């Protein structure tokens, strides 16, 4: 669905039909997806250029699409290393084939909740040096986790494993409207056959990021995180939004 909204080619009729149904209820969905992708680009570029980060772990990365994390980071420094994490075997197969010529990237099939398995995976230990800062990305994926998975505990667990001075990038779908939260949560739960979490509130994201030292401008609707002149127009309506930011791990 995300790839379809971005105008990509790696999607199916069912994805496009689901997007059409959601757009009827939440018409800002396409702009939200585009702004979310722009946020990812700005975050990775900023961390690589301004903070010198050369290692990235992208949790719940999805299929490769336009301007991936390794492409953004390696434009700043071609020595940058990226590990993509996704539980979908299609992502592992297609992503692995696309990236096989880039020896500073890897795609591993894993559940992002299984932190120990991820951090001990041979591809992670081969590419990621835990003596140097790492950026762990959770961009538009925490709403895929139910409350029973405790997204806040997951963020804390990953942060506890990263070297001092590392970064966490966190954003997820939120809405001030209980009706929108209930509709989108129910719709996506049905579409994914129960493999979804929920649209949450800004206070939930703030609680997840409480242990982190937030980088300016803090937690915001993502199009307002250090916007650039070439960004796509922001949402015209805000029945829901991607909300989050960047925090640094300090011991």
Note the pLDDT tens digit of each residue in 169-183.
999 999 999 999 998
CATH fold of 2-248, please? Rossmann fold (3.40.50)
How does residue 242 score in pLDDT terms, banded at 50, 70 and 90?
A: very high
DSSP code of residue 136: E
Is 168 in contact with 157 (CB distance < 8 Å)? no
Answer whether 0.85 is exceeded by the pTM: yes
**Average pLDDT of the residues in 144-172:** 97
Q: What value, to the nearest 5°, has the Cα angle with vertex 48 and ends 67 and 244?
A: 75
Kindly report, residue by residue over 128-144, the tens digit of the pLDDT.
999 999 999 999 999 99
End-to-end CA distance of the chain: 38
The backbone torsions φ and ψ at residue 241, rounded to the nearest 5 degrees and listed phi first, read: -160, 160
Q: Where are the domains of the chain?
A: 2-248
Q: Which residues of 80-91 are buried (b: 16+ CB within 10 A; e: fewer)?
A: bbbbbbbbeeeb
What are the Cα distances from residue 2, in Å, to 10, 12, 19, 181, 214? 10, 11, 9, 19, 27
Cis bond upstream, residue 142 (ω within 30):
no
Instruction: Give CA–CA dist 152/166, Å, rounded.
Output: 18
| Percent of the chain residues past pLDDT 70, beyond the cut | 93
Instruction: Give CA–CA dist 211/9, Å, rounded.
Output: 39
**Average pLDDT of the residues in 51-68:** 86
């Amino acid at each position: 669905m995300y790839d379809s909204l971005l105008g990509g080619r790696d999607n199916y009729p069912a994805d496009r039909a689901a997007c059409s149904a959601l757009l009827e209820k939440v018409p800002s969905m396409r702009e939200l997806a585009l702004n979310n992708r722009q946020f990812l680009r700005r975050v990775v570029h900023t961390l690589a250029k301004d903070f010198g980060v050369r290692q990235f772990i992208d949790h719940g990365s999805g299929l490769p699409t336009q301007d991936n994390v390794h492409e953004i980071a390696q434009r700043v420094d071609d020595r940058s290393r990226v590990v993509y994490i996704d539980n979908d075997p299609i992502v592992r197969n297609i992503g692995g084939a696309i990236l096989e010529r880039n020896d500073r990237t890897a795609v591993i099939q894993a559940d992002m909740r299984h932190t120990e398995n991820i951090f001990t995976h041979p591809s992670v230990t081969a590419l990621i040096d835990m003596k140097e800062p790492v950026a762990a990305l959770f961009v538009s994926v925490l709403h895929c986790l139910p409350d029973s998975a405790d997204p806040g505990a997951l963020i804390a667990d990953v942060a506890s494993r990263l070297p001092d001075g590392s970064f966490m990038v966190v954003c997820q779908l939120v809405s001030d409207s209980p009706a929108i939260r209930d509709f989108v949560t129910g719709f996506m739960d049905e579409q994914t056959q129960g493999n979804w979490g929920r649209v949450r509130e800004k206070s939930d994201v703030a609680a997840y990021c409480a242990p982190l030292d937030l980088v300016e401008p803090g937690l915001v609707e993502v199009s307002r995180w250090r916007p650039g002149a070439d960004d796509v127009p922001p949402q015209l309506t805000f029945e829901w939004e991607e909300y989050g930011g960047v925090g640094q791990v300090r011991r």
